Amino acid sequence: MSKIDKETIRKEHKKRQDDFEEEDINDVLEDEEAIKSKFENKGKLQRYLDDAKILFSLLKDYANGTYREVPFNVVAAIGGALIYVLSPIDLIPDFIPVIGYLDDAAVIAFCLNLIEKDLISYNIWKKQQG
């Protein structure tokens, strides 16, 4: 099993973020239900279900052009993290009982921390849209 520490999580997320391109947004959105289902009833990952919904909302608003007040690297950070969650083969394979989703939760937490200011701005904008 791979060592899970902040630096390992950062590197894993960065790799996925760097590989993420604008065309990948639609792929992530097409997998939305599959990704969200991994958040439901999955221990540590479940606490991020509401965050996942907000991340998908931002991706949708970015993709349809209604919200472009965020740099693409933030979109790539979100997309990379969500793709990581969907991947069954990652730092800790998801099939391992109890701990299989710890790395997924760590990647989502890292992403949320990384984009915190942009997410706050998005939430303010979203509330103003009514």
Question: What percent of the chain stands above pLDDT 90?
Answer: 78
**pLDDT digits 0-9 by tens, 36-67:** 999 987 788 899 999 999 999 999 999 999 99
Asked whether residue 76 is domain-assigned, the answer is yes
Closest by CA position to 123, among listed 58, 47, 52: 58
Asked whether residue 1 is domain-assigned, the answer is no
Q: Which contiguous run of DSSP H or E holds residue 22? A: none
Q: What is the Cα–Cα distance from 116 to 110, expressed in whole angstroms? A: 10
Asked whether residue 94 is domain-assigned, the answer is yes
Count of domains in the chain? Answer: 1
Copy the structure tokens of residue 130.
Answer: 């009514």
Q: What letter represents residue 118's amino acid?
A: D
Confidence of residue 98 (pLDDT cuts 50, 70, 90): confident
Question: What percent of the chain stands above pLDDT 70?
Answer: 98
Asked whether residue 119 is domain-assigned, the answer is yes
Range of the domain at 122: 6-128
Asked whether residue 58 is domain-assigned, the answer is yes
Give the N- to C-terminal CA distance of the chain in Å, as an integer: 46
Asked whether residue 40 is domain-assigned, the answer is yes
**pLDDT digits 0-9 by tens, 2-12:** 567 899 999 99
Asked whether residue 34 is domain-assigned, the answer is yes
Burial letters 36-68, b for 16+ CB under 10 A, else e: eebbeebebbeebeebbebbbebbebbeeeebe
Q: Are 88 and 38 in contact (CB under 8 A)?
A: no
